[in-house]
Amino acid sequence: MAHGPAATALAAADWDPYIAREGNFFDALFRRLRPECDALIAQYEESRSALLPMAHLFQEHEGYLSQNAIVAIAFLLGLTPAVVESTVSFYTLFFRKPVGKYMLSVCRNLSCIINGAEEIMTYFRDSLGIGHLETTADGVFSYEEAECLAACDQAPCMQVNLEFVYKLTKPDIDAMLAAMRAGTYAVAPLVQTAPPERTWKVAQDTGRKSAGGRGVTDPNNAGGIGDKSGVIMLDRLMADPAFAARSRERVLHEKNLGPTNGDAGH
Amino acid sequence: MYREQGGYAQLERAFKELTPKDVADICMGSNLRGRGGAGFPTGRKWSFLPNNGHPRYLVCNCDEAEPGTFKDHMLLEQTPHAIIEGILIGAYAVGCHHAFIYIRGEFKAGFAIFRAAVEAARAAGYVGKNLFGTGFDLELTVHRGAGAYICGEETGLLNSLEGKRGEPRLKPPFPAVKGLYGEPTVVNNVETLAYLPHILRNGAEWFAKVGPERSPGYKVVSISGHVKNPGNYEVPLGTTIRQLIWDCAGGLRDGRTLLGVQPGGGSSACLFEEHLDLPYDFESISKAGSMLGSGAMVVFDDTTNFVKAAHALIRFYAHESCGQCTPCREGGNWLEKTLVRILEGRGLHSDVDMLVSASHQLTGLNLCPLGDSIEPFLASVVKRFEAQFRAYIREPKAAPVAV
Ligand SMILES: Cc1cc2nc3c(=O)[nH]c(=O)nc-3n(C[C@H](O)[C@H](O)[C@H](O)COP(=O)(O)O)c2cc1C
Ligand code: SF4
Ligand code: FES
């Protein structure tokens, strides 16, 4: 694809001014944000409630949640970094790796799909040369297909760095991308403190959030070890006489269709 | 501005002239039902709070992410003070001294607007200590989520507000007994709370008399899809679906005919032409086999590809499943993959049957309603528009080989 290896990305030297300006993380950013963090914690009866607000705060200043930020949040809340990391990984708005200057989130849900969102998404992919959850090699654009943005009356719609753009057309997109490239777009770019990689997702397969037991943190949370719901579902399936016939039919069908390019799912 | 139009007058009246019980009684008498999706009577919900001397919390749910719904988004940005007044009145009625609003992470602008509005209300003496000289302290914290539909589910929301992963909790215990920080908690939708000032001003009777007896009052309906004027429309419950589409939203685009309407957000089953004269209220819609849910109506005309429509919704549920329950986590993914297979021309006729049976198999086995929301729309459109699904099935070239 249009994406080259790391060599085409911005050179490390491009980030030197930031380091020169901010110096060591704990000396600069952390010290600067500390009072705001304390104020956030003071809003709640239990300090852990400030976890999401603090993560938003650090991300605003660093452009993503660096390992330093995770450690800082853990330190301030008396948690381990692993707990903070497991929590923020649940939420799609936190980036654990650097992203582009403009996060383009195009709605792919029902009302937008029936109003031409598919064409808009293809146009974005073609114009940018990247796909869902990817960043362009120049570090300017990150692109994702998002779920319903609660602006269905303005379909097809999107957000740029969480600011809404309504009733998208192809000429709008051309103008938008040109303005972003020229640095004249109305929405402020995200802060960049490190060069983005091809994707900001830690695991590419985002279809699955957590395997059964992994998310379980206390005995009140079912669905973990010993949960019977999956077994019941399988039992129901096996009791369905059509089930076995279908499995057989599927195997035959795949054979008859011959080799295909890739997996059925994504 | 809001005050010039009579804003905060009802808050002041509640604090100065009414006891919390009076306010709760008015709410009960109005028969206001929750506007967040479940339609539970608000007054009854409040009455479940135990009298055990523990602190109580009220949390306003503004995580709006149900596909098709965009009413809370509008209320948040355009009438923040009405929401604040509603929250404060609700908090007074249930005896809560620290209320929260959980705003969806994507509503960055709405969050800033709302926070500024809360500061203005604080400066005007509506939030803080010793309100109206009554000795009643009331704090309001504005909290922002970070992108997860499941945090709209009330117990997922509470976990998220506690700084945890937004995974729903097993119920019971219900939040009214054990909610935020393990204390009794009421979770109410934005629209529900925003009706409180109006109900106080005009009286319980005024609200209870509008529309059908069992689901009275007004409702904001978000209409989108294939209509001329999509948008939010506030109507008395019991208005027919036909009136909503034609009188409010301007009808279909020219030369088109209607194929279906999804009446209550992504989790509701599709309704069809024969349902157009149904009154839009909780009972009538559920009698027709769907639900009113969050009040989000998506209208489909004859250009709709229902395979793609179903795929968009199933992909949403598969993506937003929190992963705790096997049927929801695996079932959603499996259905999504089956739909992709069909769309790519690699499906089987029996895949179409399987969509219906498999979505049914996974229903009723899940911790929260998200898992059970996968089936309704998919099953209803496969049954009605089976031909559209079958049209994607390619016949293999060679005769089947025996195994
Ligand atoms: C998956 C899921 C998502 C939900 N999302 C929302 C939401 O975004 N906003 C909301 O008010 N209620 C939502 N609800 C309903 C809440 O659980 C809860 O019933 C509601 O906030 C109660 O408020 P009400 O009584 O005023 O309707 C959701 C429920 C589920 C199962
Ligand atoms: S039904 Fe789905 S979303 Fe709800 S708790 Fe279970 S896995 Fe999570
Ligand atoms: S479906 Fe796109 S904003 Fe709701």
**Token duo for residue B130:** 């010793």
Q: Tell if the CB–CB gap between A153 and B181 is shorter than 8 Å.
A: no
CATH hierarchy code of domain B210-301: 3.10.20.600
Paired residues of B128 in beta bridges: B138
pTM for the structure as a whole: 0.88
3-state SS, A39-59, equals HHHHCCCCHHHHHHHHHHHHH
Where along chain B do the CATH 1.20.1440.230 domains lie? 306-390
Paired residues of B223 in beta bridges: B231, B297
Where along chain B do the CATH 3.10.20.600 domains lie? 210-301
| CB A178 within 8 Å of CB A171 | no
What's the gap in Å between the CA of B250 and the closest CA on chain A?
Answer: 13
**Could you give the percent of chain B with pLDDT greater than 90?**
94
Q: Tell if the CB–CB gap between A266 and B340 is shorter than 8 Å.
A: yes
**What is the side-by-side order of every strand in the sheet holding B218-225?**
B231-236, B218-225, B296-301, B258-262
Q: Tell if the CB–CB gap between A91 and B145 is shorter than 8 Å.
A: yes
Paired residues of B187 in beta bridges: B59
Where along chain B do the CATH 3.40.50.11540 domains lie? 9-208
pLDDT of residue A17: 58
Q: Is the peptide bond before B173 cis (omega within 30 degrees of 0)?
A: yes
In a domain, A168, yes or no: yes
What's the gap in Å between the CA of A237 and the closest CA on chain B?
Answer: 7
Mean pLDDT of B306-328: 95
Most A CBs within 10 Å: which of B54, B57, B62, B70, as the mutation test of the A interface?
Answer: B70
Pocket of ligand 2 (CB under 6 A): B 150, 168, 321-325, 328-329, 366-368, 370-371
Number of folded domains that form chain A: 3
**CATH 3.40.50.11540 holds for B9-208:** yes
Calculate the alpha carbon distances from A170 to A5, A151, A180 in Å: 30, 19, 15
In a domain, A132, yes or no: yes
Q: Which of residues 178-197 of B touch A (CB under 8 A)?
A: 181
Pick the CATH number of B306-390 from 1.10.1040.10, 3.40.50.300, 3.30.70.140, 1.20.1440.230: 1.20.1440.230
In a domain, A134, yes or no: yes
- Residue B262 Cβ contacting ligand 1 at under 6 Å: no
In a domain, A158, yes or no: yes
- Which residues of chain A does B350 touch, with a Cβ-Cβ cutoff of 8 Å? 242, 245-246, 249-250
| Rounded Cα distance, A181 and A183, in Å | 5
The answer on pLDDT for A11 being more than 60 is no
- Do A10 and A35 share a structural domain? yes
**Could you give the percent of chain A with pLDDT greater than 90?**
53
* Gap from CA of B154 to ligand 1 centroid (Å): 6
| Rounded Cα distance, A126 and B163, in Å | 39
In a domain, A140, yes or no: yes
Residue whose tokens read 């452009």: A63
ipTM over 0.95: no
| CB B40 within 8 Å of CB B109 | no
| Rounded Cα distance, B148 and B156, in Å | 10
Q: Indicate which CATH number applies to the domain containing A153.
A: 3.40.30.10
Cβ atoms within 10 Å of A113's Cβ, excluding its own = 23
Task: Tell me which residue range forms the domain holding A137.
Answer: 102-182
pLDDT single digits (tens) B345-399: 989 999 999 999 999 999 999 999 999 999 999 999 999 999 999 999 987 655 5
Q: For residue B36, which ligand has an atom nearest its CA?
A: 1
- Do A74 and A122 share a structural domain? no
- Do A32 and A106 share a structural domain? no
| Beta-carbon contacts of residue A255 (< 8 Å; ≥ 6 apart) | B401
